[in-house]
A = this chain, B = another copy of it.
Amino acid sequence: MMKPLRIGLLGLGTVGAGTVRVLADNAPELEQRTGRALKVVRAAVRDPHKARDCDLHGVQIDADADALVRDPDVDVVVELMGGTERARELVCAALAAGKPVVTANKALIAECSDAVFAAARASGQAVAFEAAVAGGIPIIKVLREGLAGNRIDEVAGIINGTTNYILTRMSQDGVEFAPALAEAQAKGYAEADPTFDVEGIDAAHKLAILAALAFGVPMRTDWIRTIGLTQVSSADIRYAKELGYRVKHLAIARRGAAGIELRVEPTLVPKNSFVAKIDGVMNGVMLSGNAVGSTGLHGPGAGALATASSVVADLVDIALGRALATPLSADSASAVVPAEVETAFYLRMQVADRPGVMKEISTVLAGLEISIEAIVQREVEAEQDATVVLLTHSVRTGALERAVEALQSLPVVHGPIVRMRVEHLEQ
């Protein structure tokens, strides 16, 4: 029997307590799998006297995180405190002290990758972050190891449970964004300040991590076209449904001739596609590679125990001495984000309800060589207006921008034109 792996925890919130519970509940299995005990010996928390949802017998608890990361009796540091500045400082100190690090902190990995991975390279220690993306789904391991035989061409999925819950409620029950968000907050699926989730920042952090692993793109969230949910109305969701689509807050990274396309935005996907069927707080990610074709994973994207499942998987790899080294440095050849791409679009506009309107719209689109896949026109009750919804065939984004501008300037078009991308995913 090898000596125990002694774990130091930074933070004992939901995921921290979940990690302590999973390590305790599955101690026999973990010992059998690794040949050693996985033992939490120390934790640093803001308030050492606060009650925690786990058994902390035998664990030294205090507020001294700096001492923990340097403690010679701690073999590995698990960072579950969140935030970036202080977390970066402590993670880098732990690495400098020769300790591998496990973290669930997507903001830290996505925003401080240079500092964190430089420290990891300097120390020769691993930084493992399975729990940072898609909670309990082992997407990092599948991408880096399970599909290591592939050139990855596309990563697409639902990687934020909060926005997916809101869209699912809007789609299945016809509620609007604001009450659906309020409900998600009441259920604990959304924070009191929901900006990170609703504006797509959380999903962009995760997509930056996936894209870095898949394509060698530097982890830069500012390269990701990020659009939040606030513009999506239940009317758009209803029209999308009529046309055979679902609206999802899709994160997608795709290799194209011109470079790597990176986006998080409300997107129409065919109702029978894999991501269309990921409902509620679930996460689901599709990976395409040149050998495997296309494969998908789904499961819980959050939750104390599900996230702890990924934290503990990383600890098992470390206990076995087989955690992968830091991500490869950027492959500059593929680190190009194209300014323009080809994609299909959904457009919705309010128009004057009179003859000739359709012809005016069609003339604008035909002039820019944009062809139409489907069109729906509806009278708006108790108004003089009608609603026109249309799906374009694949078109260059620049041409679409010009078309929207031209349509917007038509006198028969009233109010702003709503637009969303349409993705015909492989599965």
Name A residues whose Cβ lies closer than 8 Å to a Cβ of B.
18, 22, 25-26, 29-30, 32-33, 130, 136-138, 141-142, 145-151, 274, 277, 289-300, 303, 305-306, 308-313, 315-317, 320, 322, 324, 328, 331
Please tell me if the beta carbons of B291 and A22 are within 8 angstroms of each other in the complex. yes
Q: Closest residue of chain B to A136, judged by CB?
A: B292
Residues of B within 8 A of A136 (CB): 291-293, 295
C-alpha gap A134/B145 in the complex (Å):
16
What is the minimal beta-carbon distance from A309 to any residue of chain B, in angstroms? 4
Known contacts A149-B311, A290-B25: A295-B298 contact under CB 8 Å? yes
Whether B149 contacts A315 by the Cβ 8 Å rule is yes
Using A22-B291, A293-B136 as known contacts, say yes or no to A145 and B317 having CB atoms under 8 A apart: yes
Cross-chain contact of A291 among B306, B322, B324 (Cβ < 8 A) = B306
Contacts of A309 in B (CB 8 A): 147, 149-150, 289, 291-292
Find A296's partner among B33, B146, B297, B306 (CB 8 Å cutoff).
Answer: B297
A303 touches B293 (CB 8 A): yes
B26 touches A151 (CB 8 A): yes
Q: A305 and B292: CB pair below 8 A?
A: yes
- 30 residue pairs A–B, Cβ–Cβ below 8 Å: A22-B149, A22-B150, A22-B291, A29-B151, A32-B331, A33-B148, A136-B295, A138-B145, A141-B141, A141-B145, A142-B142, A142-B297, A145-B145, A145-B313, A145-B316, A146-B313, A149-B309, A149-B312, A277-B277, A290-B305, A292-B305, A292-B309, A293-B300, A293-B303, A293-B305, A294-B300, A295-B300, A296-B297, A296-B298, A322-B322
Residues of B within 8 A of A277 (CB): 277
Residues of chain B with a CB closer than 8 A to A147's CB: 138, 309, 313
Contact A299 B295, beta carbon cutoff 8 Å: yes
- Find A300's partner among B25, B292, B303, B312 (CB 8 Å cutoff): B292
**A146 to B296 CA separation, bound complex (whole angstroms):** 15
- Chain B neighbourhood of A274, CB < 8 A: 298
Contacts of A32 in B (CB 8 A): 328, 331
A33 to B312, CA, bound (A): 24
What is the CB-to-nearest-CB distance from A104 to chain B, in angstroms, rounded to a whole number?
13
Bound-state CA distance A291–B298 (Å) is 15
* A295 lies within 8 A of B297 (CB): yes
Q: Which of B141, B142, B149, B331 is the one whose CB lies under 8 Å from A308?
A: B149
Shortest Cβ-Cβ A-B pairs, 6 listed: A138-B146, A149-B312, A295-B299, A291-B309, A136-B292, A292-B309
Q: Which residues of B contact A296 (CB under 8 A)?
A: 297-299
Q: Report the bound CA distance from A311 to B316 in whole Å.
A: 23
